[in-house]
Amino acid sequence: MKYTRIPHTDIRISKICLGTMTWGRQNTEEEAHEQMDYALDQGVNFFDTAELYPIPAKKELYAVTEEFIGNWFKKTGNRDKVVLGSKIAGKGHAATHIRNTGFSKESIISAVEGSLQRLQTDYIDLYQLHWPERNTNYFGQRGFNAHIIDGWEDNIHQVLETLRDLIAEGKIRHVGLSNETPWGTMRFLEESKVHRTLPRMLTIQNPYNLLNRLFEVGLSEISTREKIGLLAYSPMAFGVLSGKYLTEIPPRKARVSLFPNYNRYSGETATQATEKYAQLAQEHGLSLAQMSLAFVNTRPFLTSNIIGATTMEQLEENIESIDVDLSDEVLEGIEAIHNAIPNPAP
């Protein structure tokens, strides 16, 4: 395994992070425990979860994923071997069964307390805001709609104050963003620069893969200059970049087959790009999955690459991508495809 550090800290984390959002819907608790056992044995010491998981979110399954992890911590005693990230859900339809009060002081405190109880731990290493509570472009929205008036009042100072108090209590160690825009990222960073008692956002968890490299527009410069590390999610584009949906009969139990509305990476142009990437991988004796993950691993702004798997075979292949070195010829081929079909799936 290769390791990085959470920026501005001495916390050493694996460059491959174990994602958990399928646990409780596509994976049983036994399978989740098996994945954690294997990942830790392979040197993966960074696990990421959220109170919203499993995905798609469902009231009856609220926070089951965190419960699975907490039970594993209790069973194995491995809490001190894992750097743990979790998240508070923002406003929106997907979270109405949790709360719809955004990032108020009471909401953040309640969310942290609930996660700590379910995770059976005294602290969370990295606590993240899952998505902005204001209207902006995320979750597949390519651009910002300036015509929408959302009534949001800037509460970033208050949010950081609440997180600061939770850090002082020892309940969380550090904080990060998720699904954030360049404006939002800089707004949080500037607030903590001006008010130095407030905590600094250290990471940003956004989508990044061969079909969606929009992080490179604006956010990659912020990441590099401000040292806020990318935790890349969906590096396999909901499994599309395994190539399994290019077959005439897609696998019945695969994510996009089970949940057809998860079609962000399945449009006609995205499929054309996927076919070209699959051909490039084949020409160089690589699996499309490992080429896709290895590409993300090469990015200079990457702190950790969040993989997810529903089978042990997928997990093994995904973790092994850390040892895949892409030749200059492969990287040049990737850029040629990207230039011809840029960001087909925002």
Question: Which residues are catalytically annotated?
Answer: 53
Taking the C-alpha atoms of residue 324 and residue 333, their distance in angstroms, rounded to an integer, is 16
Distances (CA, A) of 111 to 5, 90, 117, 167, 227: 26, 11, 10, 14, 27
Report which of 120, 111, 231 is spatially closest to residue 166, judged by C-alpha positions. Answer: 111
Taking the C-alpha atoms of residue 237 and residue 297, their distance in angstroms, rounded to an integer, is 15
Taking the C-alpha atoms of residue 119 and residue 149, their distance in angstroms, rounded to an integer, is 38
Report which of 189, 139, 197 is spatially closest to residue 164, judged by C-alpha positions. Answer: 197
